[in-house]
Amino acid sequence: MISSDSEDELYTERTALMSANASTAPSYQDRDGAPSPTNVQANRRRSAARRPANPVEGRVGAEGGPASRDGGGEGEEEEEEELILKYGAKHVIMLFVPVTLCMAVVVVTIKSVSFYTEKDGQLIYTPFTEDTDSVGRRLLNSILNTLIMISVIVVMTIILVLLYKYRCYKFIHGWLILSSLLLLFLFTYIYLGEVFKTYNVAMDYPTLILIIWNFGAVGMVCIHWKGPLQLQQAYLIMISALMALVFIKYLPEWSAWVILGAISVYDLIAVLCPKGPLRMLVETAQERNEPIFPALIYSSTMVWLVSMAKRDVDTEEHLSKTCNADNYPEVEVEANNHAVQGLDDVSDMPQTQIQGVHHSAAGGEELEEEKGVKLGLGDFIFYSVLVGKAAAGASGDWNTTLACFIAILIGLCLTLLLLAVFKKALPALPISITFGLVFYFSTDNLVRPFMDTLASHQFYI
């Protein structure tokens, strides 16, 4: 039932690494959430400091500047609500594009490359087969598979948290590097091979080696060190898609759905419970004022940096005065790839970077924007698994895929809204996955026959 031992071991290691990362990843939502109280306060302080200097700032589009509000207790509250709205809208857009891209890549691959829908055995984490005679037995097997998978993930997460707590940074770093090496080289090689097979493209080994070497090397540099933000984002999207494709291929049908459900429950518990491993990870990182594993989070902060061009000298001066006092854990504004930094580096950075970020005319708004939003790669992976499974499913119906896609995006929207309201670590999986699952099953079983009947008669609703 397992294809080959050596391959399996590699996959084992892979999935071991990525599962751990996957489970830690959802917590990275909190990178956005946890530090944001400090940031929001800092922003308010800053805008308060700015207000005397720049009396009334013009509004920019739908997102009104908090600066225009005049003081008083009411002003503070309304300003906060405006921040919420602005955070909500901008962050939603910043995340929609990468999530959509990842899902699109996965769906396109599933629909065209048949390799990923062939049953070639199962992972070692899901040892029970689903090829049984009775429905009850199949259900039991899938539940057992889920239990094993989730316990592996829990164990990996706890190991990761312990390693982080006892400052075994080199070990974690090495682990992450090994994991991305495998993804960027081996999985890309397999993926390319299958794509070439599908389209009957003749390729020689030297060219292939050249392509994969370049792709992988640049990827390693971009993800673990420095690189242009958009390239880094593209690589993160690609490795999420590759990982999702592996999951789609090797997880049997029912197990996949039960695992998706179970992992959203786990995510909820791990991030929100006081003793949850992910929450502890986040809190530890916060205490030490370090960024958590940039290789595992998708960040969109730099986008605003690139789009700003004008300089506002007044705001800058005020900013530099108030900024120094603030200690931003999130100073990944620049390259995001400072894997683990000592406190010294972090305190050096705020000055230059924040000044760089706040080149803009409209002052207030950009202060919040510099924060951007972060989403863990595990979230990308599981969203894509859901949509991919919907696309790969027995019926291969596009309506189901579309419905799941919309459901996930709306769930993400709601999660970001909650994030702006609660301003703390939030799991990104539960709402989206719940919506996705509900819509998958209802669309596949209810809407599909309805739409098929309509289409056959060419009725329109």
Partner 1 sequence: MKVLSAAVLKPAFFWLLSLLLSSLVWFIAVKASNEKDAELQKSLIIFGVMFSVLLQEVFRFAYYKLLRKANEGLAALSEDGKSPLSVQQMAYVAGLGFGIMSGAFSVVNILAGSVGPGTVGIFRDSQYYFLTSAFMTMAIILLHTFWSVLFFDGFENKRWVAVVAVIATHLLVSGLTFLNPVYEGSLIPAFVIMVLMAAWAYFTAGGSLQNLQHFFMCKENK
The stretch near partner 1 (CB under 8 A) out of 170-178, 248-256, 368-376, 443-451 is 443-451
Cα angle 129, 385, 102; round to 5: 155
Does residue number 394 form part of the binding site for partner 1 (CB under 8 A)?
no
Does residue number 71 form part of the binding site for partner 1 (CB under 8 A)?
no
Say whether 444 is catalytic: no
Out of 18, 303, 413, 425, name the contact with partner 1 by CB under 8 A.
413
Of residues 84 and 221, the one with the C-beta less far from partner 1: 84
Of residues 242 and 409, the one with the C-beta less far from partner 1: 409
Does residue number 338 form part of the binding site for partner 1 (CB under 8 A)?
no
Residue 129 CB, nearest approach to partner 1 (Å)? 31
Out of 1, 9, 37, 93, name the contact with partner 1 by CB under 8 A.
93
Does residue number 308 form part of the binding site for partner 1 (CB under 8 A)?
no
Does residue number 12 form part of the binding site for partner 1 (CB under 8 A)?
no
Report the alpha-carbon distance of residue 157 to residue 50 in Å, rounded.
43
Of residues 140 and 406, the one with the C-beta less far from partner 1: 406
Does residue number 327 form part of the binding site for partner 1 (CB under 8 A)?
no
Does residue number 114 form part of the binding site for partner 1 (CB under 8 A)?
no
Does residue number 108 form part of the binding site for partner 1 (CB under 8 A)?
no
Q: Write down the catalytic residue from 32, 379, 397, 444.
A: 379
Q: Which helix (H) or strand (E) holds 419?
A: helix 398-422
Residues 6 or more apart whose CB falls under 8 angstroms from that of 436 comprise 260, 383, 386, 387, 390, 404, 407, 408, 411
Say whether 345 is catalytic: no
Strand segments, DSSP code E, in 59-168 are: none
146 phi-psi bin (left φ>0, alpha ψ -120 to 50, beta other):
alpha
Out of 16, 42, 92, 278, name the contact with partner 1 by CB under 8 A.
92
Six-digit token string for 70: 């005049």
- Specify the 3-state DSSP secondary structure of 355: helix
By C-alpha distance, which of 431, 400, 154, 401 is closest to 266? 154
Report the alpha-carbon distance of residue 87 to residue 70 in Å, rounded.
20
Of residues 77 and 131, the one with the C-beta less far from partner 1: 77
Does residue number 403 form part of the binding site for partner 1 (CB under 8 A)?
yes
Does residue number 211 form part of the binding site for partner 1 (CB under 8 A)?
no
- In the shown chain, the binding pattern of residues 48 to 67 toward partner 1, with x for contact by CB under 8 A and - for none, equals -----------x-xxxx---
Does residue number 454 form part of the binding site for partner 1 (CB under 8 A)?
yes
Residue 77 CB, nearest approach to partner 1 (Å)? 10
Does residue number 203 form part of the binding site for partner 1 (CB under 8 A)?
no
User: For the range 159-166, what are the long-range contacts, defined as Cβ-Cβ under 8 Å and sequence gap of 24 or more?
Assistant: 159/20, 160/20, 160/24, 160/277, 160/281, 161/24, 161/277, 161/278, 161/280, 161/281, 161/284, 164/281, 164/284, 164/285, 165/280, 165/284
3-state SS of 207-276 is HHHHHHHHHHHHHHHHHHCCCCHHHHHHHHHHHHHHHHHHHHHHCCHHHHHHHHHHHHHHHHHHHHCCCC
Does residue number 78 form part of the binding site for partner 1 (CB under 8 A)?
yes
Q: Write down the catalytic residue from 267, 312, 397, 444.
A: 267
Six-digit token string for 108: 């396109």
Does residue number 147 form part of the binding site for partner 1 (CB under 8 A)?
no
Q: What distance lies between CA 260 and its chain's CA centroid?
A: 16
The single residue listed with the structure tokens 């999702």 is 244
Does residue number 213 form part of the binding site for partner 1 (CB under 8 A)?
no
Catalytic residues: 267, 379
Binding site for partner 1 (CB under 8 A): 59, 61-64, 68-69, 78, 81-82, 85, 89, 92-93, 96, 397-399, 402-403, 406-407, 409-410, 413, 439, 442-443, 445-447, 449-455, 457-461
